[in-house]
């Protein structure tokens, strides 16, 4: 690991107050990046900021990404901050899940999942692509999807539909940016069950000892950040060791 490879650059992490988001934030900070931490809970974000190397260099920007006004303000703040330190890393991690049959899912629940899981990443990419393109060293976009992005699980219709949509968006984004000359790379990470508050709330029956630790997902992000050669990794699928890969 080169601890200074992103020194003088910014990284924006959505859902930074949660398990995966906070772990990825640390990986970015360890590589010298100044963090823009966003999520709905200011207290959690401040706790993450204080735990990172160089806490005074990081910014907390609380935002509800389902609200257009707050999403717009976040994009403007990130763009302004990138004027002094170029935006090099965008981590689209924020998300929500739901455990309900399709018949029992309300339109309001469906719309909420699509607003957070699909619409917010789309809007942030549109707002911040100019800043990522302007980075002399090129930019990185990490989209934290799910194994549900390509699979079907009972009672997760709305969640699966939103993650399928996010995955399709990510794949097309990667191809469009590659057409421009690959200055901005896109990485899609599709993990199975991770030991987070969200997964525990949706699957209270699951054995948490068998779940993936958030630091393992962050480690993958770190490994991709450390790749500086000609190799490009578009997609990483991660399953639990106890999960049958053929199931």
153 catalytic? Reply is: no
Dist CA 59 CA 38 (whole Å): 9
Task: Give the rounded distance of the alpha carbon of 198 from its chain centre.
Answer: 14
Dist CA 214 CA 194 (whole Å): 6
Kind and range of the H or E element at 127? helix 120-134
- Residues in Cβ contact with 109 at an 8 Å cutoff, skipping those fewer than 6 apart: 98, 100, 158
One of 159, 170, 174, 177 is an active-site residue; which one?
159
- β-pair partners for 72: none
β-sheet with 139-144: strand ranges across: 59-60, 34-38, 10-14, 87-92, 139-144, 184-191, 235-238
Closest CA to 30 of 69, 58, 63: 58
Dist CA 186 CA 139 (whole Å): 9
DSSP codes of every residue in 135-171: -TT-EEEEEE--GGGSS--TTBHHHHHHHHHHHHHHH
Q: Which residues are catalytic?
A: 159
């Amino acid at each position: 690991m080169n601890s200074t490879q992103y020194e003088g650059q910014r990284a924006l992490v959505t859902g930074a107050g949660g398990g995966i988001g906070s772990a990825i934030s640390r990986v970015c900070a360890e590589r010298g990046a100044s963090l823009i931490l966003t999520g709905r809970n200011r207290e959690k974000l401040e706790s993450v900021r204080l735990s990172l190397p160089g806490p005074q260099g990081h910014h907390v920007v609380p935002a509800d990404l389902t609200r257009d006004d707050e999403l717009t303000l976040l994009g403007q703040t990130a763009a302004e901050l990138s004027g002094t330190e170029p935006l090099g890393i965008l981590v689209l991690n924020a998300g929500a899940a739901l455990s309900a049959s399709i018949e029992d899912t309300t339109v309001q629940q469906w719309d909420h999942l699509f607003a957070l899981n699909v619409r917010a990443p789309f809007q942030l990419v549109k707002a911040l692509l100019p800043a990522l393109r302007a980075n002399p060293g090129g930019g990185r976009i990490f989209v934290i999807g799910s194994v549900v992005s390509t699979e079907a699980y009972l009672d997760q219709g709305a969640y699966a539909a939103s993650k399928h949509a996010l995955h399709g968006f990510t794949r097309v984004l990667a191809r469009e940016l590659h057409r421009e000359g690959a200055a901005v790379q896109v990485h899609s990470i599709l993990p199975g069950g991770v030991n987070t508050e969200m997964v525990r709330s949706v699957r209270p029956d699951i054995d948490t000892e068998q779940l993936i630790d958030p630091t393992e997902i962050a480690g993958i992000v770190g490994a991709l950040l450390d790749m500086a050669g000609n190799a490009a990794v578009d997609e990483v699928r991660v399953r639990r060791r106890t999960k049958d890969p053929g199931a």
